[in-house]
Structure 1
Amino acid sequence: MLKKGSKLYSILTGTCPKCHNESMYKERNPYKLNATLKMNETCSHCGTRYKIEPSFFYGAMYVSYGVGIAFAVAAFIITRYFIGADSLLVSFFAIMGTLIGFMPVIMRLSRNIWINLFMSYDKNLDTK
């Protein structure tokens, strides 16, 4: 399912959207909060520039809203139907805990989705 060359591979692994050979981020662990969004300027393998234009990743804020909603809905369903909590207050705290706990992951996923909307895998770059 996660084959090199698919957009899903680049989105979930945070690799270069053109060659899928190198992480876009300086630190692979999103929970190192001082470096969560620090990115390399270019891919050292294929030379792709990640910031296509100034403020390019501001668009990822719109994506992050949708990703956050997906995480919140998942937390609600798990709390309500799998754990069996009948209280909306318990569901609310589960949603808030999920959104706070996964905030670095949501921010990175949003950036990965955003850049993959504008760039595609080039199999010719993989053989460089």
Structure 2
Amino acid sequence: MSTKSKGLAVLQGKCPQCREGHLFTHGAYNLKNFMKTRTHCEVCNVRFEKEPRFFDGAMYISYAFSVGLFLVSAFIIYAFFHPVSENVYLIAIISEVFLLYPLMFRYARIFYLYIFGGLKYKSELERTENN
């Protein structure tokens, strides 16, 4: 029986209902397949996508991540390296986006599923009683 916390399940990209099954089929830096999301949990068989194009709403969370990353980067560069040219800001931010995009994409989907997916945690005992 899994006793994982919700926070740990989110960090590991696990199913919101059982907190055991993986949400994604491949690793974050498998650049060919990092976007592939499972349709169902391999442990509890719950469907992740409640409707067609369900995860389109995750782009707003991804946008918030990007804005936060830009602001933090700009603040750090300004606070510790000022004065620098605008090119330093551009190079830093573009480099960060390329390095962190797979993680931002995944966590935007994970957060969106946990917030708007309507799935509640069920222990293994609760899942077996319902079947």
Under a length normalisation based on structure 1, what TM-score does the superposition of the two structures give?
0.82
CA RMSD for the aligned pairs? 2.1
Distance 1:126 1:67 in 2: 36
Deviations 1:60-116 (A, max 9, x none): 11111001111222222332324x242233123211211122111111111011101
Question: CA distance change for structure 1 residues 11 and 95 in 2, over 3 Å: closer, same or farther?
Answer: same
Question: CA distance change for structure 1 residues 44 and 86 in 2, over 3 Å: closer, same or farther?
Answer: same
Partner of residue 78 from structure 2, selected from 77, 80, 91: 80
User: Is the 8 Å Cα contact of residues 23 and 38 (structure 2) preserved in structure 1?
Assistant: yes
Q: Which consecutive residues of structure 1, in runs of 5 or more, have no partner in the other structure?
A: none
Partner of residue 61 from structure 2, selected from 56, 60, 63: 63
1:16 CA drift (Å): 0.6
Distance 1:70 1:114 in 2: 17
| Matched residue type, 1:112 | I
Distance 2:22 2:76 in 1: 31
Question: CA distance change for structure 1 residues 13 and 61 in 2, over 3 Å: closer, same or farther?
Answer: same
User: Is the 8 Å Cα contact of residues 10 and 112 (structure 1) preserved in structure 2?
Assistant: no
1:35-114 equivalence runs, <5 A: 35-82=33-80, 84-87=81-84, 88-114=86-112
Identical aligned residues as a percent: 26
How many aligned positions are there?
123
User: Is the 8 Å Cα contact of residues 16 and 120 (structure 2) preserved in structure 1?
Assistant: yes
Distance 1:33 1:16 in 2: 22
Distance 1:98 1:85 in 2: 19
| Matched residue type, 1:19 | C
| Matched residue type, 1:86 | P
Single out whichever of 100-109 and 112-121 deviates more from structure 2.
112-121
1:23 CA drift (Å): 1.3
1:58 CA drift (Å): 0.6
1:126 CA drift (Å): 7.0
